[in-house]
DNA sequence: GCATTTTGTGCGATATACGAACAAAAGTCA
DNA sequence: TGACTTTTGTTCGTATATCGCACAAAATGC
């Protein structure tokens, strides 16, 4: 790609949008400038543009994103057929298991939820479509990493912030790589309270008819309800069944 | 705002992102140009920029958005505290009613789902956070429109594509305005299969402590299970209770 | 194989980013 | 309170990047 085929004003604007998050729902020009590292004048122009287009509100002091911004993310969700195809299978799976079931894809070091059928809330965080979790300590993340060539998985782990969310969290890259081999061999990933105390989950890959992974599928359950050791026994058959059914549908 | 405070390259790029939808998950340069009305060279630069940043994939022929795009929409969801505050109330409401419960905000002529607690699927379409429905024929949309000054509601209706989704759909602007008055008076909106055959729903406004509407809240039920006439009797008390509880929490 | 459509590229005209300078607020402290 | 400091927002001139057009090249359809 040539230098001139890159619209830096666009790229800068996207950076500005991403500057907003749960800890910073409202930003002044100076704050946004600090977060993005862009010049105050540049950030101001981007924010005023967002505001002019209705993607942001401006009260003269702070900027805040409006729901119109959701159109951008939704452009992906509605454009990719995967969530729509998977959802009914997820509903049935969740219903039969009596637990929450989800599907996700990998984006960098994180998994992104693309569909979910939830039962009673068990996690402290609220997971919906678009939610992200670090791949290294989530069951679906392990499944995705295991599906990659080992050097790519290692590279992603190297870029990840490997922190111990609980005393059970595996954070050593070599341990994790060994665990990924296990996942690859057994065809599923089991997480025992590595993300959050009290939460276990089990995941399998969803492959298309050419054997390529297109998503990961999981069931999560409270550890108080189902011991980690029982997870595979109880839910693996259901997951495998759903996996097989979807394999025939995914192209 | 001065002319020079607007970054047109950014605005054009956002238009290009929105060109993708369920009917057009993959776009060539020429297609994107046709949809957006932008010059091919401009669209090409925007798409190559998206691709360079990892927001899109390019196979040399077609561009497709990647899940990274979801970060943009999620910047709003995680930045606004509303969904997080509402979710547990929604879960409880859905649980007690035994039906799906949702919350939404208004964006132009559409309502946007910001939180949802779903029971068994009843609708043909898959609703999740970020999903949109036309305001004029959705219970939460009626609640939002009823909360606006009448001329604004009329203006939104004028911009809406008022089509009859079912034989029950109200499409006459004057009928709709009359219905909005009724909604305002009785404090709730009832939809009897106007969006989809077999689906009834009832909605109330969520107001903050200053009495300003910040979201709409609804319960949807299959018509086969609950007749429209029973909706208010069965679910209004629950909705009112949740509404009152949230009023104290929303600032 | 020719017509039609689509994509890539060079160029002049125009729009935008940068950095600095200035203006306006917001803190800070006696 | 009022003077001083710091932070923030805005403007400006200029160097540079981007736009849209026109044309060339490639792909596609018939």
What pLDDT digit, counting tens, does each position of B50-76 carry? 998 999 998 888 899 999 999 998 888
Q: Which CATH architecture has domain A80-249?
A: 2-Layer Sandwich (3.30)
Average pLDDT over residues B179-205: 96
* Predicted ipTM > 0.85: yes
Q: What tens-digit pLDDT sequence spans chain A (251 residues)?
A: 566 788 898 999 999 999 998 888 899 999 999 999 888 889 999 999 999 899 999 988 899 999 999 999 888 888 888 888 898 899 899 989 989 999 999 999 999 999 988 776 555 567 888 899 999 999 999 999 999 999 999 999 999 999 999 999 999 999 999 999 999 999 999 999 999 999 999 999 999 888 899 999 999 999 988 888 899 999 999 999 999 999 988 87
Question: Most A CBs within 10 Å: which of B10, B62, B105, B213, as the mutation test of the A interface?
Answer: B10
* For residue B22, pLDDT beyond 90: no
Residue A123, CA distances (Å) to A87, A201, B92 in order: 21, 11, 15
Q: Which fold does the domain B3-68 belong to in CATH?
A: Arc Repressor Mutant, subunit A (1.10.10)
CA–CA gap between residue A138 and residue A97 (Å, rounded): 19
**pLDDT at residue A78, rounded to an integer:** 82
Whether A76 sits inside 8 A of B53 (CB atoms) is no
**pLDDT at residue A125, rounded to an integer:** 65
Residues by CB within 7 A of strand D: list them: A 3-4, 6-9, 28-31, 33-34, 40-41, 44, 61; B 2, 5, 8-9, 12, 38-42, 45, 61
Cβ contacts of B46 on chain A, cutoff 8 Å: 7, 10
The reply to whether A3-69 and A80-249 are identical in fold is: no
CA–CA gap between residue A236 and residue A143 (Å, rounded): 14
Of B99 and B2, the one with more pLDDT: B99
Residue B84, CA distances (Å) to A158, B26, B148 in order: 32, 33, 25
Band of pLDDT at residue B124, cut at 50, 70 and 90:
low
CB-hemisphere CA count at 13 Å for B246? Answer: 30
Which sequence spans correspond to the domains of chain B? 3-68, 80-249
Cβ contacts of B79 on chain A, cutoff 8 Å: 20-22, 24-25, 64-65
Burial class of residue A211 (count of CB atoms within 10 Å of its CB; 0-12, 13-18, 19+): exposed
Of A153 and B38, the one with more pLDDT: A153
Whether A67 sits inside 8 A of B76 (CB atoms) is yes
Q: Is the pTM of this model over 0.95?
A: no
Lay out the sheet containing A63-65: strands in order across. Answer: A26-27, A63-65, A56-58
Matching CATH number, A3-69, of 1.10.10.10, 3.40.50.300, 3.20.20.70, 3.40.50.20: 1.10.10.10
Contact A64/A25 with Cβ under 8 angstroms? yes
Smallest CA-to-CA distance from B103 within A128, A215, A148 is with: A128
* For residue B226, pLDDT beyond 60: yes
* Chain D positions with any atom < 7 A from a protein CB: 7-12, 17-22, 28
CA–CA gap between residue A225 and residue A200 (Å, rounded): 10
- Name the residue of chain B whose CA is nearest to A78's CA: B22
Burial class of residue B60 (count of CB atoms within 10 Å of its CB; 0-12, 13-18, 19+): exposed
């Amino acid at each position: 790609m040539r230098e001139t085929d890159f619209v830096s004003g666009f790229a800068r604007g996207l950076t500005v949008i991403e500057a907003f998050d749960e800890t910073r729902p409202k930003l002044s020009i100076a704050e946004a400038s600090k977060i993005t590292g862009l010049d105050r004048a540049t950030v101001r122009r981007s924010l005023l543009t967002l505001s002019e287009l209705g993607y942001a509100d401006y009260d003269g002091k702070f900027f805040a994103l409006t729901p119109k911004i959701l159109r951008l993310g939704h452009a992906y969700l509605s454009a990719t057929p995967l969530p729509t195809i998977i959802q009914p299978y997820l509903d049935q799976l969740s219903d039969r298991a009596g637990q929450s079931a989800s599907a996700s894809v990998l984006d960098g070091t994180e998994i992104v939820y693309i569909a979910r059928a939830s039962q009673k809330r068990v996690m402290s965080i609220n997971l919906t479509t678009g939610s992200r979790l670090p791949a290294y300590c989530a069951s679906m993340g392990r499944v995705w990493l295991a599906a990659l060539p080992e050097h790519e998985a290692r590279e992603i782990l190297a870029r990840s912030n490997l922190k111990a969310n609980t005393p059970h969290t595996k954070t050593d890259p070599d341990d994790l790589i060994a665990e990924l081999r296990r996942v690859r061999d057994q065809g599923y990933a089991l997480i025992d309270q590595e993300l959050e105390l009290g939460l276990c989950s089990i995941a399998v890959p969803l492959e298309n008819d050419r054997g390529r992974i297109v998503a990961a599928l999981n069931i999560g359950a409270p550890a108080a309800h189902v011991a980690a050791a029982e997870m595979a026994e109880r839910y693996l058959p259901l997951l495998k069944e759903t996996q097989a059914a979807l394999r025939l549908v995914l192209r």
